[in-house]
Structure 1
Amino acid sequence: MKIFVVGDTHGSITKVQKKIENIKPDYIFFTGDHYSDGLELAQNNNIEFKGVVGNCDRYSSGPEDSIIDLEGVRFYLTHGHNYGVKSNLNRLYYKAEELNANIVIFGHTHISYCEKINNIWMLNPGSASRPRKSPRGTFALIEINNQSIDIKILDLVESNKTK
């Protein structure tokens, strides 16, 4: 199973659309900030969608966070602004621990990040359109096969692994 993780698109999805067409994922997980972009990408590609709203989604109706169980893996999806992720990941980590999440997916910082901390993956795909600390927009690809988890952060322009 392939999960395409993207967020912080802020209305710019052309490059994301091209990547989705090439990768052909089973799911799109959207981390917020232009929630409608995530919905549009899922509808255009007839792909299952799981997404959350971010701090820039004042007029969108969608969940602020979501727990998703797939293939024996529990995901916790949130934008991250309610957990102070620009300062540190402590509050978000403890929430994930409380929820028994295997992978926490968040956005908001526009900086890609992927690290396993005490058996919990902390994943931020970065920003597809307004990246910080990176010259290109990024996304993440999660592949699950028999509960084996492979996570990559990739550039939208090139398929080179960045982390």
Structure 2
Amino acid sequence: MRILVVSDTHGDKQTLHRVILSQPSSQVIIHLGDGQDDIEDEKFLYPEKMFLQVRGNCDWGCALPPVGQIQLENRKIFYTHGNLYNVKYGLDEIKLAARLQKADIVLFGHTHVPYTEYEKGLYFMNPGSLRGANATYGILDLVPQGVVTNLIQVK
């Protein structure tokens, strides 16, 4: 299963649309906040895809949840924007939260800095920001052999 992971679109609907078009095999799209309305058109264009979303610190007055969890391909994914876990100052809080949730994978944004790591049975990914000259996104492949994380720069 391929999962497209995006964050911090901040109104850049065109880049979001181009990225979704560039990843046709993605079955799930997870938006990690700061762009609550940016993905609405895509939901109508791709009704066959599963869309998951959380609110970010710039999604004022938003009814989206601050965190989400889902079990896909026998792996528990914990996802959030990251501001509630102070990820700009380190990953200790989000690591603890993910481990308390017994997650296999933790996804977060907020810092606009792409990042991926594997530590003691836990995969981490921050896809970076999908806005601006250095826009990036993440691909998460869940395969029988394991988990593969990739960070991709938008061209």
TM range (shorter): over 0.9
How far has the Cα of 1:106 moved from its partner? Answer: 0.4
Aligned residue-pair number = 153
Q: What residue is the counterpart of 1:136 in the other structure? A: 134
Contact 1:28/1:50, CA 8 A, preserved across alignment: yes
| 1:93 counterpart = 2:95 | yes
Equivalent residue, structure 2, for 1:161: none
- Paired with 1:39 and 1:118, the residues of 2 have a C-alpha distance of 36
Q: CA RMSD in A?
A: 1.3
Measure, in 1, the Cα distance between the counterparts of 2:8 and 2:42. 13
Bigger shift: 42-51 or 121-130?
A: 42-51
TM-score, structure 1 length as denominator? Answer: 0.89
> Could you list the per-position Cα deviations for residues 58-109 of structure 1 after superposition, in whole angstroms to 9, with x for gaps in the alignment?
1221111001100101000100101110000001000000001011000100
Query: In the alignment, which residue of structure 1 is the partner of 2:117?
Result: 115
Identity of aligned residues (%): 31
Residue number in structure 2 paired with 1:43: 44
Q: Which runs of 5+ in 2 are unaligned?
A: none
Equivalent residue for 1:151, pick from 120, 141, 149: 149
Structure 1 runs of 4+ off > 3 angstroms? none
Query: How much does 1:15 deviate?
Result: 2.0
Shift of 1:119: 1.1
Distance in 1 separating the partners of 2:40 and 2:119: 31
So what's the TM-score if we normalise by structure 2? Answer: 0.93
CA deviation digits over 1:16-65, x for unaligned, max 9? 21221121110100100011213333332222111100000112211110
Tell me by how many angstroms 1:147 deviates: 5.5
**How far is the alpha carbon of 1:118 from its aligned partner?**
1.3
